[in-house]
Each structure stands twice: as structure tokens, then as C-alpha cells.
Amino acid sequence: EGLLEKDRRDNQNIGAHGASDILGRVPGGGPVTLLTHCNTGTLATAGYGTALGVVRALHQRGSLSRVFCTETRPYNQGSRLSALELRHDGVPVTIIADSAAAAAMRERGVQAVVVGADRVAANGDVANKIGTFQLAVAARHMGIPFYVAAPSTTCDPTLASGRLIPIEERPGTELTHLGGVLLAEPDVDVWNPAFDVTPHELITGGIITEWGVFAPSEVCRAL
């Protein structure tokens, strides 16, 4: 029960720090339009959420215009879970295909990208749900700040860089089948990594923790 309360408190602090930092970058102080990936909310944590905690904090302040939520293929954690949570909380959310993210940044006024993390290496490289790396590349090209929201326990100072983070590979049927229906040639080769690593230099907004917002290269040392 103590861990449950600590996790909620840490996530609420992550949300508050992230919301303040994002609003400080926006002319006029908001409201802001965000884009997020995968599920980082109450269904992924003990309560409130990390990246979705930032979304919730902005919404509670009346400073959120809309959040674009990627479907997060192939397992659809974004459309099945994140969108469900946000709708439940009355947060304005729009689901987009993963392949529409760069277009949404350009055409729908996205002002920041906020994602979670499964592990942060000593140099600030971050492992997160597959598709995060390409979001960071697109955000860098568009000049949009890219944030990672994660508790301090996610930092792993024993790993010098993200290249040392083991990446899970999941069954190919997640890509070739939907509801038991085969969608691809039955013997086709499939590569289905569950995560990718985003280099620290692409995390332009910073890494948001319960202690504040840090430059990626400083976060593990600071914590």
C-alpha cells in the first residue's frame, strides 16, 4: 500500500513538472496540443501515469487543447488503453495511425511530444515502445520538443548507452494476424521488436522525473 501511494505521488509530481516545463516553452502559456505514444497512464502504473500524467496535469490546469494518441501498432496499446483512459477522464483525445504522426505534427499544430520509458541508460538514451525513435526523429525535424516522462527508478546507470539495453522481440503473428484472420502471406518473414532505443540527442525537451526535468545526459547522475 505504501508503494501504491508513492507511485501515485511520484507520477503526480512528474505530471506537474512536465506541464510547467511545456507551458514555459509555449508562447502565451497555452493551451497546448500534445502527441503521445503507447500507454503510460493508470493502466500502466499504480495510478495517474507518467506521460499521461503530464497530459492529465495540463488538462486539470485548463491548459490542454488536445492530445493525439497513436494507435501504437501492432498491439494497439494507444487505441485500446490510452484513448480509453483519456475518454473516461474527459480529456480531448484523437486517435491517429502510427504512420500519421509526422503529418499530425505538421498539420494539426502539435506543440510537444511526450512519451514514457522502460529504461534510461547512463548517457540518457531511452528504450520505449517500438515507434518512439521515429517520433523523436520527426519531432526534431519539425522543431517540436520531445519529452520522456519516467520515474527515477527507470534510470539504469550500469548501462553506458542504449545499445546495451536488451530488446524483446515478439511473435510475428501480431503483425500477420488480426482477430485470428491471416492478413499476410503465410510464410513471410517478420521482424517484430517490442521496443526501440531513442538516442539522447533527440530528446530535445528533456527527461521528466518526479524530481524535475533534466537534460538526458544529466538525468542518471542527477538522480
Catalytic center residues: 118
* In contact, 139 and 105? CB cutoff 8 Å: yes
Spatial neighbors of 215 by CB under 8 A, at least 6 apart, are: 124, 206, 207
Strand partners, 149: 208
* DSSP, residue by residue, 77-103: HIIIIIHHHHHHTT--EEEE-GGGHHH
Q: How far is CA 112 from CA 16, 31, 61, 62, 72, in A?
A: 15, 12, 17, 17, 18
